[in-house]
Amino acid sequence: MNTFLGYAIPGIPFGCTYAIVAIGLVLTYQTTGVFNFGFGAQAFASAFVYTVLVGRGIGTGISFVIAVLVLAPMLGVALDRLLFRHIASSNTVAKIVSSVGVLVAIPELLSLIFGNQTRFAPPQLFLNQASVYFHLGSTPINGLELETVIMSVAIVGIVIAILHSRGIGLEMRAAVESRRMLELHGVPANRVVGFAWVLSSTMAGLAGVLLAPQYPTLQANDFAILLVAAIAAAAVGSLRSVPLALAGGILLGVIGGLGAGYFPPSSIWHTGLLPGIPFLLLAVLLVAAPRLRNLETSNDPLASSDPPPPPPITVTRAPELDRLIKGGGRVLAVVAVVSVLTWVPANWVFVLTTGLVFSVVFLSITLITGMGGQLSLCQASFAGVGAFTAGQLALHFGMPVLLGIVVGTVVAGIIGAVAALPALRLRGLPLALLTLAFALLADNVAFPASWIGGPLTGLNVPRPQVGSLSFATESTRAFFVLALVVLILCALVVRFVQRGTIGSYLAAMRGSPAGAAAIGVNLNSTKVLVFSLSACLAGLGGGLYASLQQTVTPADFNYEFSLVFVVVVVTTGVRTIEGAIQAGLGFVVVQQLLSYLPGRFGAGGLAIVLFAFGALTYASHPEGVVEYQKRQWTQRAERILLRRAPRGTPPAMSIAGGAVPTIHHSLQPSARDRVESG
C-alpha cells in the first residue's frame, strides 16, 4: 500500500499541471465557443516574457504583473478583435485551422523577436522549489508540488465561480450559443465575448508562468505537448465540466506515476506505452463517449439571419488569357526543368527536389481536407510510416529502396484505412482531435521503437539504384527527375479521383451528408477509401523524403509537422492540385531564401510564421489566400489586357430574376423547420 501511495502521490501534482491547462481549455471553449489550440502558445508567450523579464533582473512580482496581467489579456483582446470575432459563424475547419495557426505562429514569432537561445526555467512564484515542506506518508512534498496543487485547486474554484456566476458567467455561456439572442436581451454580446477572451487568455498566461518551472529549460514544444495531453483531461469532462477535467488531469498524473513505478524501467510498457497514455485515453474517449461526438451540434436559433454564403469566385478565365497562362506555364515548367538539369547549383537542386517530395505529401491533404472536407492532423505520421517502412526493409531485408517505398505506401494506406474505422462517426472538431491523438500515439509509442523508427542516430535509407542508373548523392538531378515523375503520377491520380465519380460523391458529401446517403452513397466506405488513399500519398511522399535525405529520425515526422503541413497547404490552396504543389515548392523555397537573411531570421521560423499568418485568413479565403490573390490578379490582368468589364457578377443574380435579386424568405431554414426535425 505504501509503495502504491509512494508511486501515486507524486503523480498528483504532475496531473495538476495537466488539469490547469485542461481547465483553461474548458473555460475557453465554454466562454468563447472556440476550441483553442493556441492556448498552449499563449501560455508559452507569458512564460517566455516572464522568463525574459526575470532574467533581466526585474522582480518576480513585477514580471508576473507584466506577463500575466498585462500581456496575456492584451493577447486575448487581439485574438478576439483581429481573428476570432470575424470567424464566429464560420465552419469548424476554419476555426481549428485558425487556432492551429496561432499555436504555430506565436512561439516562432517570439523567438524571432527575442532570439532562440536556450533559456532556463524561471523561479517559482511563491514557494521555494527545492525545499521539502512536509511528508505525506513517506513521500516528501516539495515547494513545486505543493504550489501546483494549491494553485490548481484555487483555479478550479475561481473558474467554477466565474462560469456559474449569475452575471457575466451566465452571459458568456449564453453568448457561445447565440450572440444574437443575447443581444435581443439587451446584452452587448461582443463585449461579453471579448471579456471571455481576456479571461481565458489571462488564465493561459497564469498557467504558463505556473508551469514553466516544471521544465529544466523553456521550450514551446513542452507547452504544446502539455496542451495536447491536457486535451485528454478536458475530454474526460466532455470539454464542459471543470471538476471532471481536474479529475481527468489527476487521473492521468496518477496513472503516469503508477506506471513509472511499477513498469520495469526498460520494458516496452515503460518506454512504449507510458508516454502514450494521455493520447490513448483521448482516442478512446472520442470514439466511445457520445457527448464528445456531438460537440458540434449546438446551433444558433437565429442563424437564419446570416446572409447566404456568397457564390464562389468564378474560376473561369477568358479563353485568350487561359491560353496565354497555360502556354506560359508550360514554357516556364520546361525552362525550370531544363535549368535544374543543367545549370542550377546542387544545393538548390536538392531544395527543389525536397519541394517536389513535400508536394506529394501535401497532395494527401488536398485529398482529405480539400476534397473530403475533413481536417486530418496526422498526415506527417503517415509520411513517417512510409519512410520507416522503406528504410527498415532496405536495411534489414536488403530490399531495393524503390520497392521498399512502394511497400511503405501500401502499409501507410492500410494503416490509414484502419485508422479511419474509429473515425467514421466523427467529423469536424472531434475528428481533428482524434487524428491528433493518432499522431501523438505514433510519436510516443510507435516511432520511438527501434524496429520502426530506427536507432537514435537516425535510420539510414539508401538512394535508389536501378540497374546501372544511380540516384546517389552526386547525381541529385536524377533524383529530381524521379521525384518529378512520381509527383506527376500522384497529381494525375488525384485529378482522376477529383473528376471521377468518387470526386462527385465527395462533393455531394461536402454539400450534404444526409442528401448523399439518401441517393445511395455509402458514406462509410467512401470515407475509409479517402482516408486510405490520402495515407498512401503521404506514405509515398515520406518514403521518397527518407531516400532523398538518406537519414531520417522520428523527429522528422512528429505531430508538429502535421500541424505545419495543414497550415502551409491551407495558405496556398487546399482545394486544388496546384495549391499542393505551390505549397511544397513554396515551403522549401521560402525557407531557403530566408536562410540568406542574417542571424535569427534565417532559422526557418519566419517561413512558418508567414504561412501561419496565411492560414489565419482561411476563414475568409477558404480557397487559400495565395489562390485568392492569383484569381484576383487574373481578373485584373484580364481587365488590363483584354480591356473588358469585370465579370464579378456571379450567375446567381441573373437567374434569381431581374436586376435586383430578391430572396424568398423561407429559403432561410426557419426555426420552425428545426422544431419538426428535432
Q: What are phi and psi of 58, to 5 degrees?
A: -85, 140
Beta carbons within 8 Å of 386's beta carbon, 6+ residues apart: 405, 408, 409, 411, 412, 538, 539, 540, 541, 542, 543, 546
Report if residue 177 touches another protein, rule: CB under 8 A: yes
Give the end-to-end CA distance of the chain in Å, rounded to a whole number. Answer: 52
Residue 389: name the closest of 418, 366, 412, 363 by CA.
412
For residue 297, give the C-alpha cell: 451540434
Please identify, using beta-carbon distances, which residue of 33 and 275 lies nearer to another protein. Answer: 33
What SS3 string covers 126-157? CCCCCCEEEEECCEEEEHHHHHHHHHHHHHHH
Task: Identify the three-state secondary structure at position 239.
Answer: coil
**Rounded least distance, CB 489 to another protein, Å:** 16
Residues numbered 309 to 338 that lie near another protein (CB under 8 A) are 309-312
Task: Identify the three-state secondary structure at position 578.
Answer: helix
Could you tell me how far CA 278 lies from the centroid of its own chain? 18
For residue 122, give the C-alpha cell: 524561471
Choose the stretch contacting another protein; rule: CB under 8 A; options: 169-177, 213-221, 247-255, 556-564.
Answer: 169-177
Q: Which of 174, 289, 399, 403 binds another protein (CB under 8 A)?
A: 174
Q: What are phi and psi of 178, to 5 degrees?
A: -160, 110
Choose the stretch contacting another protein; rule: CB under 8 A; options: 81-89, 94-102, 588-596, 669-677.
Answer: 669-677
Question: Could you tell me if 381 and 442 are in contact, meaning their C-beta atoms sit under 8 angstroms apart?
Answer: yes
Please identify, using beta-carbon distances, which residue of 307 and 398 lies nearer to another protein. Answer: 307
Please identify, using beta-carbon distances, which residue of 634 and 668 lies nearer to another protein. Answer: 668
Q: Is 142 left (phi over 0), alpha (psi -120 to 50) or beta?
A: beta
**Rounded least distance, CB 494 to another protein, Å:** 12
**x/- binding map, residues 116-155, to another protein, per CB under 8 A?**
----------------------------------------
Residue 354: name the closest of 494, 546, 573, 529 by CA.
546
Please identify, using beta-carbon distances, which residue of 599 and 678 lies nearer to another protein. Answer: 678
Report if residue 520 touches another protein, rule: CB under 8 A: yes
Choose the stretch contacting another protein; rule: CB under 8 A; options: 178-186, 438-446, 472-480, 544-552.
Answer: 178-186
Please identify, using beta-carbon distances, which residue of 290 and 398 lies nearer to another protein. Answer: 290
Please identify, using beta-carbon distances, which residue of 1 and 519 lies nearer to another protein. Answer: 519
Residues numbered 478 to 507 that lie near another protein (CB under 8 A) are 496-497, 499-505, 507
Question: Could you tell me if 242 and 295 are in contact, meaning their C-beta atoms sit under 8 angstroms apart?
Answer: no
Choose the stretch contacting another protein; rule: CB under 8 A; options: 85-93, 177-185, 476-484, 616-624.
Answer: 177-185
Report if residue 89 touches another protein, rule: CB under 8 A: no
Choose the stretch contacting another protein; rule: CB under 8 A; options: 152-160, 176-184, 424-432, 592-600.
Answer: 176-184
Strand-pair category, 469-470 with 132-136: unpaired
Report if residue 184 touches another protein, rule: CB under 8 A: yes
**x/- binding map, residues 626-655, to another protein, per CB under 8 A?**
------------------------xxxx-x
Q: Which of 523, 589, 590, 637 binds another protein (CB under 8 A)?
A: 523
Residues numbered 415 to 444 that lie near another protein (CB under 8 A) are none
Q: Which of 61, 455, 599, 676 binds another protein (CB under 8 A)?
A: 676
Q: Which of 130, 519, 640, 645 binds another protein (CB under 8 A)?
A: 519
Name the helix (H) or strand (E) containing 11: helix 2-32
Q: Total binding residues for another protein by CB under 8 A?
A: 84
Report if residue 167 touches another protein, rule: CB under 8 A: yes
Question: Could you tell me if 189 and 175 are in contact, meaning their C-beta atoms sit under 8 angstroms apart?
Answer: yes
Report if residue 526 touches another protein, rule: CB under 8 A: yes
**x/- binding map, residues 187-226, to another protein, per CB under 8 A?**
xxx-------------------------------------
Beta carbons within 8 Å of 331's beta carbon, 6+ residues apart: none
C-alpha span between 99 and 92 (Å, rounded) = 11
**Rounded least distance, CB 504 to another protein, Å:** 4
**Rounded least distance, CB 72 to another protein, Å:** 27
Q: Which of 178, 219, 470, 475 binds another protein (CB under 8 A)?
A: 178
Residues numbered 271 to 310 that lie near another protein (CB under 8 A) are 298, 301-302, 305-310
Residue 198: name the closest of 40, 72, 48 by CA.
72
The DSSP symbol for 120 reads: B
Choose the stretch contacting another protein; rule: CB under 8 A; options: 182-190, 202-210, 346-354, 424-432.
Answer: 182-190
**Rounded least distance, CB 671 to another protein, Å:** 2
Please identify, using beta-carbon distances, which residue of 147 and 627 lies nearer to another protein. Answer: 627
Question: Could you tell me if 429 and 396 are in contact, meaning their C-beta atoms sit under 8 angstroms apart?
Answer: no
Please identify, using beta-carbon distances, which residue of 364 and 389 lies nearer to another protein. Answer: 364
β partners of residue 134 = 141
**Rounded least distance, CB 300 to another protein, Å:** 10
**Rounded least distance, CB 530 to another protein, Å:** 10
Report if residue 666 touches another protein, rule: CB under 8 A: yes
* Sequential DSSP letters for 180-231: HHHHHTT--HHHHHHHHHHHHHHHHHHHHHHHGGGSSB--HHHHHHHHHHHH
**Rounded least distance, CB 125 to another protein, Å:** 35
Residue 172: name the closest of 22, 33, 24 by CA.
33
